[in-house]
Every structure is written in C-alpha cells, then in structure tokens.
Amino acid sequence: MRTRLPRIAGLVLVCALLAAPPVQADGPPDDGTDLRPDQRFAQRLSQARLPQTSDRVRGAIAAPMSPLVRRLSTRVGPSSRWVVSPGVSYTTWSQTDARGPIRAHLLAIDLSTPGLRLDYASAGAVRRTDQVSDILAHNKAIAGVNGDFFDIGDTGAPLGLGQDRQRGLLHAPRGGWNSAFWLDRAGRPDIGYLPLKAAVRFRPHLKITNVNSPEVRRGGIGVYTPGWGASAGYRWTGGQTRQVRMVRVVNDRVVETKNKLPSNTVIRGNLLVGRGEGARRLAGLAKGAKVDVEGWLQGRPQVAITGNKFLIRNGVFEVINDREMHPRTAIGIDRDTGEVLLLAIDGRQSFSRGYTMVELAEMMQDLGANEALNLDGGGSTTMVARRPNGSIGVVNSPSDGFQRSVANALEVTYSAP
C-alpha cells in the first residue's frame, strides 16, 4: 500500500491541470432517462443551488479563483500516517492555499487483504440515528465514516439506498437519489447509478416507488417493513392526509386496508402506502388478496450506499460548484491499485475552512481516484479509526464540536485469517 498525499507540486501539477478533461454533465437524471446536454447542464445548475448537506446550513462562500491559481498557491503542511490494520492506512495532513487552510483525513483500504471487509452500517432500524462511533462499535469496526444524506429533524431515515451484507436491502427509492458506491457480487468496488427494482408479482399496475424511504413519491406506492422502525404516519406522505391509503400485508395476504396512516406503532408484516394515484390503485386490493412484493438493487450487490453527487466518473469531473464551502466526506476508487479511498475534510473551523465540491473532486483526483462520490457533509462529517495505541475513536474534528447522530455509515472490519 503506497503512501498517499495530494500530488500538488510544480510543473507536474501544471501539466496535469492543463491536460485535465473539461467538466462534463451529471449522470442519469431522476428517472434514469437521458437528457440533452443543455438540459443536463441546466439540471446541474439547479442542483448546485440546493443545500449541500443534511443540516441545510448555508456554507461560507469562497472567493472566485481559477483552479490554476489555487493549486499553484497550495502548500502542504506536516502529515501523520499509521497502519490501522493490514490493508488499511490512515493519513492526516494540513494544507493552505489562497482561500485559506484545510485539514484532511484519509483512509486507504485494500479490499484484497484477507480478513478485511467493507460494509454498510446503521444503528438498527432504518429511521434510527446514532453517532458514527457507536454505529461502528456494534460490529467492532476498526474504521469508518458517516454515510448518506438523511431526513434530519423528521423521520431520520436515509434519503437514498442501503444494502447490508447480512440484512440485505434495507431502503431505496426507485430513482432520484441513486448515485451510489457498491461492492458487486464478486466484492469489486464500483460507483455509478444504482436503481431499485421492485414490483408486486402479477399486479403490474401497482408501481412501487420506494422501500423504507422518508417519503412516498407523489402518485407512488411505498413499501415499509418492520426494519423501518415505528410507523411515521402522514410524514410518509409529506403531510398529505387526503387521497392516501395504507394496505397491510402479512404472509403475502392483505389483512387490513384503510385511508388513515398509523403513527408511532410497530409495523407487523409489510405496509403499502399510496399517495394520489398510488392510493387509488391500492384501494382495489381487498382483504385476503394475494400480494407478493419483490425488491432488489440492480445487479444484486453485496453492499451499497448512496450520496448526492458524483464527483468523478471515469476520470472526468462531474461537479461545477466552486463557491460554497463545507466539511466534506467522500468515497473514491483508485482503479490502478483497486483501493477504496475514504476522505474527510474538516470545515466551519478556523484551522479548516472546508471545501467546495470542485475542490473535493480535485483532491480525490490528486489522491488517485478515478471514480468518486460525495457523501453527507457539514456537521455529519465524521471519521473513526483505530489509533496506534489500539484505541478506536474519532480522528477528525466534527464541526459541531461533537459527533452528530446520523442515519448510517460505512464500516471497515478486520479478522485475522
């Protein structure tokens, strides 16, 4: 495993910058269909104005500056590195450029190492939140970072998808928040668009749009399992109380159907929750009707988690926002070495201003990533690792001054073969 620090030195940097490919449009839109380049660019401009973290805090605005000037002004400070376990190294360093200082934290993970595993992690129920260190402690993880954006201040559930090695598919939308990192059936890492495949067997008119998501899509049908936790009532429908319906299914049979949604109750069986057209279609199911719901992620990966934006796809930058600065968490893949890279950038603090999306993509590229995905940032940005003395704890500086409770995480575990 090679030592990793950003490649920001002299002529090599300038040449790399001048040879860098132009910024390209985002990946597939919400419904997975193609848009014209001008439509895709407009979509990205619209997305760039949305809050960039779950806490929806407006980030400090960086002074306009060309990437060339910023890079040439960069100075890397002292660094520290240690081996967390076989196949895992942690590196931290500070650096300063014309916009100010940052502090970075990197976990480099060689998944070919025997006994080493990367997995989805959570506090249990989909809607339950907890601090990253406590989430990782459940499986005696040696390292990890916070994961997906989540419905902060309401249901607490992740916005995107989650696939766990042991528990299988936990939550997912059919589309709209499916920019993902995953490990395929052979354990190989990948980053791309990962849709939910869900259906009710022999009932093609029932379109499943969500599984254990914070909110059912308008006109859609969401599935809620006991793994969700306590029912969320009309929060599932964005406060909509009319033209909604709940159908409860036990052992593939409808046992209850009504136009009121249960709140804060234990889910027994599976609930189908419809809004608008989805509710109208569910109304056609009578008690005793057979309902067999199937749901899986395309390609049936072992592990999967989403973020909000691709940073790099096939070596090409996918982001354009170079103004709003936040603490950041990102995951990347170095196709040359096969390593997975977990990066945390401290922010909202005097010693570390945070990064823009473009700066985050540049850093991931400098570290060797050919593919990279932005995970939740802001006060959620948390990295945990085992220290040289054997203790396990937070190694970055969360911007709230303490660990925020989050919806999920990526964890690294190691068992000596």
Q: Tokens representing 370? A: 């050919």
What is residue 7's predicted lDDT score, i.e. its pLDDT?
60
Question: For 152-179, how does the pLDDT look when each residue is reduced to its tens digit (9 = 90+)?
Answer: 999 999 999 999 999 999 999 999 999 9
Q: How many CB atoms lie within 10 A of CB 62?
A: 21
Question: For 86-114, how does the pLDDT look when each residue is reduced to its tens digit (9 = 90+)?
Answer: 999 999 999 999 999 999 999 999 999 99
What is residue 1's predicted lDDT score, i.e. its pLDDT?
57
Instruction: State the pairing for strand pair 168-173/208-211.
Output: antiparallel
Q: Tokens representing 60? A: 């400090």
Q: C-alpha angle with apex 348: 342 to 350, nearest 5 degrees?
A: 110
Please compute, for residue 35, the number of CA atoms within 13 A of its CA located in the half-sphere on the CB side: 16
What's the whole-model pTM score? 0.90
H/E run at residue 277: helix 277-282
Q: Tokens representing 46? A: 């619209």
H/E run at residue 81: strand 75-85
H/E run at residue 317: strand 316-317
Please compute, for residue 76, the number of CA atoms within 13 A of its CA located in the half-sphere on the CB side: 15
Contact 322, 360 (CB under 8 A): no
> Which bin fits 251, alpha (ψ -120 to 50), beta or left (φ > 0)?
left
Parse the chain into domains and list their residue ranges: 10-116+301-414, 198-297
Taking 70 as the pLDDT cut, the residues of the chain under it are: 1-2, 7-50
CA distances from 70 to 100, 111, 347, 416 (A): 10, 34, 18, 44
What is residue 67's predicted lDDT score, i.e. its pLDDT?
85
What is residue 6's predicted lDDT score, i.e. its pLDDT?
77
